[in-house]
């Protein structure tokens, strides 16, 4: 039981505990919150903004990397706030790839473009991995395509890799413009019309793995998907007296594994941040054996996809299953939830989070000057804040 687990852990050798401290990420949630980031600024929620306050400005919205529930809510909110302020709003379809390819991938949006999307999962404007944007030649094409539409403001919805790419793009922008003018691909006037590009990021990630915000867009919905799936698994597991090893997403962050473990009364959780002791096999088997002895018919073990032991070796769902079968002879099955976690309708929380972040992103863009560095719209408590993009990215990495 729980006492057996406590005893087993306390009896671990000191050397094991030292190795644990050296090999794991000592998890302090305060390091991930906006309050730990320097130079953050309060958002504009609750203040009046006049319509057409920024008439003549233009902005583009794109999603990049893996999708997450709630992205459409952010797209909708950013679009309508931009239109309310008098801006021309563009969608860049298929992420950075659409920015590089240009053409029909960059289209102007209107109020109706985002009708009836807040309840939908995924992203209506598409997302794609883009190797071309990693090369300067690709970023040169992207710059040319944006300048053609006089786009000087970008809302980037994605993970830390997408936001890092956006920051690099901003830094290179003046040089890219000069190169395009020198080669005759754009007119000299564009240097004065589009001298710099402003960037605001929104973090769309189901893993909740970004420093500087309490919650990322899509995390709450993914947790709900996992909990629903485990609840369904428990019903059949109870009928057949089975153990289930459930694999969830979380390559570097075990948030989903931990919260779903708490919410479903799981027997054991493996998370990347806290490698288990070397005798984890004994601990798991003792726990399961004890629970069955008390009459339990179901056992649930949750494994984050990035779980590792103290030596850095992967703890996979197959490995955990084999330990249970070989040592306890329990009927054990594996359920890999995979992309189910990223699909489905967003929860009320993610719909509201995307809505609030999208509106704040546009206001932040409109208030930016050429000296301001890119920022990320984050949550601190129940407030929207603007935090420096690269501070958050570097701390995350």
Show Cβ contacts of residue 380 under 8 Å, excluding neighbours closer than 6 positions. 33, 34, 35, 40, 213, 214
Query: Over 325-391, what HEC string results?
Result: HHHHCCCEEEEECHHHHHCCCCCHHHHHHHHHHHHHHHHHHHHCCCCCCCEEEEEECCEEEEEEHHH
d(CA 72, CA 79): 10
d(CA 234, CA 246): 11
**100, two tokens:** 């590089």
d(CA 375, CA 387): 5
Strand order in the sheet with 299-304: 268-270, 299-304, 243-248, 332-336
d(CA 143, CA 366): 20
**96, two tokens:** 């950075």
Place of tokens 């769309």: 204
* Cβ proximity of 385 and 376 under 8 Å: no
**Separation in Å, CA 188 to CA 144, 177, 279, 392:** 13, 9, 68, 36
The CB density around residue 137, as the number of other CB atoms within 10 Å, is 10
Residues in the chain: 397
Show Cβ contacts of residue 297 under 8 Å, excluding neighbours closer than 6 positions. 237, 238, 241
Per DSSP bridges, beta strands 375-380 and 198-203 are parallel
The CB density around residue 370, as the number of other CB atoms within 10 Å, is 9
Q: H-helix or E-strand containing 201?
A: strand 198-203
* Cβ proximity of 301 and 244 under 8 Å: yes
Catalytic positions are 207
**Residue 202 dihedral angles phi and psi, to the nearest 5°:** -120, 135
d(CA 84, CA 253): 38
d(CA 177, CA 391): 27
């Amino acid at each position: 039981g729980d006492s057996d687990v406590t005893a087993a852990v306390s009896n671990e050798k000191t050397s094991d505990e030292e190795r644990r401290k050296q090999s794991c990420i000592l998890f302090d949630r305060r390091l991930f919150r906006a309050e730990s980031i320097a130079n953050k600024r309060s958002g504009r929620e609750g203040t009046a903004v006049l319509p057409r306050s920024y008439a003549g400005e233009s902005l583009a919205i794109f999603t990049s990397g893996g999708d997450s529930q709630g992205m459409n809510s952010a797209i909708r909110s950013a679009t309508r706030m931009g239109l309310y302020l008098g801006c021309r709003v563009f969608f860049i379809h298929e992420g950075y790839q659409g920015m590089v390819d240009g053409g029909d991938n960059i289209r102007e949006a209107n109020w109706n473009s985002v009708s009836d999307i807040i309840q939908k999962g995924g992203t209506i404007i598409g997302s794609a991995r883009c190797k071309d944007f990693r090369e300067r030649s690709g970023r040169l094409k992207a710059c040319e395509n944006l300048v053609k539409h006089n786009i000087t403001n970008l809302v980037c919805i994605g993970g830390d890799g997408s936001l890092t790419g956006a920051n690099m793009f901003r830094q290179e922008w003046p040089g890219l413009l000069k190169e395009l003018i020198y080669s005759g691909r754009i007119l000299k006037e564009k240097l004065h019309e589009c001298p710099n590009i402003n960037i605001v990021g929104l973090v769309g990630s189901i893993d909740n793995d970004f420093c500087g915000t309490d919650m990322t867009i899509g995390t709450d919905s993914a947790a709900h998907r996992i909990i629903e799936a485990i609840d369904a698994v428990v019903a059949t597991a109870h009928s057949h007296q089975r153990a289930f090893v459930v694999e969830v997403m979380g390559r570097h962050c075990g948030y989903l594994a931990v919260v779903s473990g708490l919410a479903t009364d799981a027997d054991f959780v493996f998370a990347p941040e806290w490698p288990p002791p070397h005798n984890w096999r004994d601990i798991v088997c003792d726990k399961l054996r004890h629970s069955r002895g008390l009459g339990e018919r179901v056992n649930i073990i949750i494994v984050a996809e990035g779980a590792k032991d103290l030596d850095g070796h992967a703890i996979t769902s197959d490995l955990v299953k084999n330990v249970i079968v070989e040592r306890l002879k329990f009927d054990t099955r594996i359920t890999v939830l995979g992309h189910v976690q990223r699909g489905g309708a967003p929860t009320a929380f993610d719909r509201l989070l995307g809505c609030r972040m999208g509106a704040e992103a546009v206001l932040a863009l409109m208030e930016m000057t050429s000296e301001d560095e890119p920022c990320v719209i984050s949550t601190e408590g129940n407030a929207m804040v603007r935090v420096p993009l690269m501070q958050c990215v570097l701390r995350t990495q």
